[in-house]
Every structure is written in structure tokens, then in C-alpha cells.
Chains A and B, each alone.
Chain A
Amino acid sequence: MKNQKVSFEKKMRQNVGFLFILPWLIGFLIFKLYPFASSLFYSFTDYNLFKGITKFTLDNYVHIFNTPKITRALGVTFKYAFMTVPLKLVAALFVAYILNFRLKGVKFFRTAYYIPSILGGSVAIAVLWKAVFKDEGLLNALLGIFGVESINWLSDPSLALFVICLLRVWQFGSAMVIFLAALKNVPEELYEAAAIEGAGKWRQFFSVTVPLITPIIFYNLVTQLCQAFQEFNGPYIITEGGPRNSTTLISLLIYNSAFKNYEMGMASAMAWVMFVILLVFTVIAFMSQKHWVYYSDDERG
């Protein structure tokens, strides 16, 4: 009898746990899994929002790899991600390392560096970026003071993408705060031990600090990569993909194809190509972990 009661209670408890996560599960099925699966399905159709589906086809994928504009956008997306992510992580780690020394006013600096991350995603900051980098903008006014000739930051196809990258790099604050928290957990004794063995500050940084925070570096790397591949606001607002498509990231083409031309099948196919590429990079990152990421619960660190 008692046993039965216990098992009933246990069952109740199990169901209760399930009830708590049920809203999430429903949301996942409707707003994540269903869209995820149907976009794969749409990618093999000629789905147009107004004409519906008339046939199943591989045309979208063939079209993607035969259209220079699209393959170029994929290339630009790569370039964007592989410029932005390393620059941002290096800036974040470097500044966090300096902030981690006991200096006066650290909190003040931390706040100052963090503000761009909080505001950076907003349209207002994209507008500001345009004001800074436009041909008669703030930066060229500064260069003028030093007698340097104006640079066409946004109208030169070889520079515009870099300016868009800088907007992201400028928002290194959140990655920095994460690094800072990780650096605080590196035991002081390790630095002392390294110092006794004659390691200078740089040596200490590379042989003590970096190995100990590799899990955090990894975390930041993967999340930043995911975001960089999806960047939309910067190029859409500042350069509108130009000049000469030099800042046309794949997300802009997906947007145009889906929400300007209503070619839902084509847009889904492009989104899936991007997704698969991102997935490959994420998997590579996860697989590479065992070569360079040290978790504290195993002894290799």
C-alpha cells in the first residue's frame, strides 16, 4: 500500500515536471521545429507567397550555385564572419586582461566599454555609424586635422565591408565581460608560480591565462560565429548592401527574396545553404575542442 502511494507520488512528480516544461515544448514545436522543417520543405519547391507551390524542384539550389550574385554574397558573409569574430575576440580578451589588473577606475572603464554592446544592435547606432564613416563624416574630419586626405569608407567597395565589421567589433563589451569573469577565476597562485619561474607578463598570459580560459574562448567563438553569419541590421541600414554589392551578406539576399519578391522557396533554400555552412563550422569548432579546449574537470589543463 505504502509502496503504491510512493510510486503514485513519484509519477505525479514526474508529470508535474513535464507540465512545467510543456509551454516551452509547445512553443518549440510550433515556432521552431515546424518552421525549421517546413523551410527545408519549401526549399525544394517554387513556393511564391501569392502563387503557392506549383512544383517540387531542385532549381533553387542549382540557381544558388550558378548565380554569381548569390555565391558572392556567401563569400562576403564568410569574409565578414572571419574578419569580425577574431578581431572582436582578440579585442575583448586583450582589454579584459588589462582590466583584470588591479587598477583604479576599472569599473568606470568597464562601463564605458560595455555601453556600445548594449546599444550597438539598435538602428540609432547604425545611423551614428553612417554619420561617422560617411564621406564628409566625423572620421574624415578627424583625418583632415592631420592633413590626411578623406577616405571613401562607405563608397569604396574594398573598405565598406570592413566598416560594417568594425560596428560589430566595436561591440566587444559583452564578450569582454564574459572574459573578465573567467579571468577572475584564474587562481592568483598560478601567476605567482609562473612569475617565480621567470615568466614575464606576456608569457604568463599565453601559458597560464589562455589555456585556463579556453572553454570561455570556445563559448564566445561559437556564439559570435552564429551571430556574425546572421548579421543583417548593419549592412541593411548603413550601406544597403552596396557599394557594388560589396556588403551584400547572404541575410540581405534572403530578406529581399522572401519579403520583397515573395519567393519563399528560393529564400528558404538560401537560408538552408547558410544554415548548413554554419552548422559545418560549428561542428568543426566542437570537434576541434579536444585539441585546444581544456575543461577543469579533466587533468590535461
Chain B
Amino acid sequence: MEKTRGKRLSGRARRRLSVVLRYAVLISVGVVMVYPLLWMAGATFKENSEIFSGINFIPKNPTLSGYQNAMKDYGGDINIWKSMLNTYSYVIPKVVFTLFSATITAYGFSRFKFFGRNFLFAVLMSTLFLPQVVLNVPQFILFTKLGWVDSRLYLPLIVPTLFATDTYFVFMLIQFMRNVPRELEEAAKIDGCNVVQTLVKVVAPMLMSALVSCALFQFMWSSNDYMGPLLYVKTPANYPAAIFVKLSMDADTGFEWNRVLATSLISIIPSLVVFFLAQDQFVDGIAAGGVKG
């Protein structure tokens, strides 16, 4: 009796110790993950001489000079706000077009049988593993011939999304559609809905959370994309934020880190806001489809 009690106590103590250990790991990993970002935010309010003098993220003499300098035009053609406007002027069409084209494609694959379906589905899946690096050169030549390079409308970045070229999203939506019961679609058919009406009125509403996830990921990935604009945007006035931030870092001789970091931070604020508003959607989407990134 005594002995078992002793054992139980030590068991409890051990459990407590392991809880403490787990929290210790979680917190120290958390610091590594988040502190650089916190420090970055703090550094934007520091004087340049202070930024690398210690590791504290709270500025001693807060200043807005980093932000004031970050607002300056670059070569008269582009500044941070313009570049962000440019970014979202192609990110938003990309998101909308991807949602449309990926939904239609996923619907076709998951709800219909047609000649060559299995073969085409295998093709679709294999393009998930097709590295973009192999496609860059001919795509660039193609877009050059079409006269799309450096178009004000960002055609090389936007037009492919009309054709569900980001197959990852098609794959993700097919995964979701597998779990959507077909009875409602049968009922809609009996009620006289045609296939398009069924898609719009029955299937799409049930896929809403998956569609939100797709939209969020496409938003993030397109905002972060650097290679695309690097290849296809040449006119400084059309530069998106990704290019602008890189330029503002290169232009600096290494002394104005508060300006460089302020520019960087401003450029990711929309992404941060979207993430905090919709973080559960991200996690659900990633968990259901399995995600790259």
C-alpha cells in the first residue's frame, strides 16, 4: 500500500517534470521562431547605430527616421506603396482566377467519367512534381514572343492561372471533393439543375472552406513570389514589393538598416494581417491537402 502510493507520487512528479520539459522545449523553439520577427519590428524604430549594438528588441530612443526614409521614392519611379499596389494588382487576379479554374478542373475530375480521365489525372498529378526551373527558359521565350514580358497587366504572371496551372490547388480541391457527399448533387439533378448550376449552387458552397484555404495560400505564395516578377517585370514603375525590397537592400551601403528593415516589414504587413485573421483556415487547408511550403 505504502509502496504503491510512493510509486504513484513519483509517477506524478515524473509527469510534472515531463510537462515542464515539454514547455521548455516549446518555449525555446518559440523564441527562435518569433524573436527574429519581433527584433525586426523593434529595429525599424531604432537609430541605425543602435540596431546591432545589442539583442534587445525595444528601441532605446524610438525614432521614425527608418519609416520616413522608407517612404522615399526610388529613382523617382517607384516607392514602397506603389510597389505594394503593383504586387496586389496581380496577386488578386491570380487568386480569383486560380479559384475558378481549379474548382472547374477539380469538379471535372472528381465527378465525371470521360475518355482518358485516368490518364489525364495521372498527368495532372505528375505535374505536381515538375520543377518550375525546367520550364522557365521556354516560358520566357514564349512570353517574349507573345510580347507579354514587362506588360503593365502582368500577363505572364496572371494568364496561366486562368488555366489551373497551379495544379497543387486542383489536387487539394479534389481531395476535399472526395469527402463531399454526392446525394445533394443527385437531388439537385432531380430538381432539374444542370451540371453548371449544381457546381455553383451545391458543390461550391460545400467547398467554401477549402476554397478559402486555396485563396489564402495563393495569396501568400503569389505575394512572396520573387522569381516571377524578376523575370517578367522590367520597368521600375511596375516593380512589385518583392523586387522593391531587394532593390532597397542593394542600394544601401550597409548603414541604413532601419530603413531596409522598415521597408521589409511594411511589405509583409498585409500577409501578416491575412494570416492572423485566417490562421485556422490555413491550418485546416494544409492538414487536409498536405501542402508544400
Contact = CB atoms under 8 A, between A and B. Distances in A.
B131 to A, nearest CB: 5
A124 B267 contact: yes
Contact of A103 (B26, B144, B220, B246): B26
A160 to B, nearest CB: 17
A1 interface: no
Contacts of A31: 135, 139, 160, 163, 165
A125 B272 CA distance: 12
A6 to B, nearest CB: 15
B238 interface: no
A140 B69 CA distance: 27
A181 B287 contact: yes
A141 B260 contact: no
Nearest to A232: B227
A126 B19 CA distance: 35
B250 to A, nearest CB: 9
B33 interface: yes
A123 interface: yes
Taking chain B's interface residues, is the majority helix, strand, or loop, or is none over half, making it mixed? helix
- How many of chain A's residues touch chain B, expressed as a range? 35 or more
B162 interface: yes
Interface of A: 13-21, 23-28, 30-32, 34-36, 38-39, 42, 49, 95, 98-99, 101, 103, 109-119, 121-125, 127-128, 130-132, 136-138, 141-142, 145, 170-171, 173-174, 177-178, 180-181, 201, 216, 219-220, 222-223, 226-227, 229-230, 232-233, 236-237, 251, 254, 258-259, 264, 267-268, 271-272, 274-275, 278, 282
Given A128-B40, A254-B133, 17 more contacts: A17-B113, A23-B162, A28-B165, A34-B142, A39-B134, A42-B137, A117-B293, A121-B226, A123-B242, A128-B261, A131-B40, A138-B52, A173-B33, A178-B291, A223-B290, A236-B226, A264-B137
29 contacts: A13-B112, A13-B113, A14-B114, A17-B112, A17-B113, A19-B108, A20-B107, A23-B101, A27-B163, A30-B142, A31-B135, A35-B134, A36-B135, A39-B138, A49-B144, A116-B33, A119-B271, A122-B224, A122-B271, A123-B241, A123-B243, A127-B249, A128-B36, A131-B40, A131-B43, A177-B287, A226-B292, A259-B140, A272-B134
